[in-house]
Amino acid sequence: MTEETPALPDLLLVAGIPATGKSTFGRFLAERHGYAHYDFEHHPQGWAVPELYAMWSASREKFVEMLRARHARTVIDWGFPLEYIIVIRELQSLGARLIWFDGDVNAARVAFFFWGGLDLRPFERQVESIAACRHEIDGLAPLVVQGLAPDGHHRGSDEILAELRPRFDGRHGPSAVG
């Protein structure tokens, strides 16, 4: 690791508008950068260690302790219900860095549909919820990336990581690794 290549946080939480590339980015971090990937919308198959679900339900603090004991780096991919903002704050207090995937909503709607979301109601509910809670989301101080352009083009994960690296500033938990 050099001064030009900041350490990657040991615990990332990737959230944002549906169909903007969150899961793709989580899988990229797992495949190319040694992160354990936990896709909260696809338990148990989307979890590196599905047995940790009981710990997640019992105690966020213990869950994060278990993640750190098992993995050098973890990425949680979660299009969380916005009534869970308090949980996000709790994860941040435990050292998680929040990355918010933003993008053109119309292009995301099309991407959602083509990825098999024939029923657009869950997409619309999530987008409406995000719009209603935008001030609270901004208050979480996420690192915002544009994952999806108006033309429907998803940015590459390498490009997104290159944008994020200089923005990791040491506020991302006790055990950053390079």
Q: What is the pLDDT of residue 160?
A: 96
Segment 2-9 mean pLDDT:
61
Q: Which residue has the higher pLDDT, 37 or 78?
A: 37
Question: For residue 83, is it within any domain?
Answer: yes
Question: For residue 90, is it within any domain?
Answer: yes
Provide the residue range defining the domain that includes 115. Answer: 11-165
User: What CATH number does the domain containing 115 carry?
Assistant: 3.40.50.300
Put simply, whether the predicted model's pTM sits higher than 0.85 gets the answer yes
Query: What's the total number of domains in the chain?
Result: 1
Please report, rounded to a whole number, the percentage of residues in the chain having pLDDT higher than 70.
90
Three-state DSSP class for 16?
A: strand
Instruction: Quick: pLDDT tens for 12-47.
Output: 999 999 999 999 999 999 999 999 999 988 888 889
Confidence of residue 3 (pLDDT cuts 50, 70, 90): very low
- Residue 1: pLDDT over 80: no
Q: What is the pLDDT of residue 177?
A: 31
Segment 141-155 mean pLDDT:
93
Q: For residue 41, give every residue at least 6 positions away whose Cβ sits within 8 Å of its Cβ, in sequence order, or none.
A: 23, 77, 78, 79
Question: For residue 5, is it within any domain?
Answer: no
Question: For residue 82, is it within any domain?
Answer: yes
Confidence of residue 84 (pLDDT cuts 50, 70, 90): confident
Q: For residue 29, give every residue at least 6 positions away whose Cβ sits within 8 Å of its Cβ, in sequence order, or none.
A: 12, 35, 37, 73, 75, 157, 161
> Where does residue 22 rank: exposed (0-12), middle (13-18), buried (19+ CB within 10 A)?
buried
Task: Write the single-letter amino acid at 8.
Answer: L
- Residue 73: pLDDT over 90: yes
Instruction: Quick: pLDDT tens for 92-103.
Output: 999 999 999 999
Half-sphere exposure of 102 (CA within 13 A, CB side): 12
Question: For residue 173, is it within any domain?
Answer: no
Question: For residue 174, is it within any domain?
Answer: no
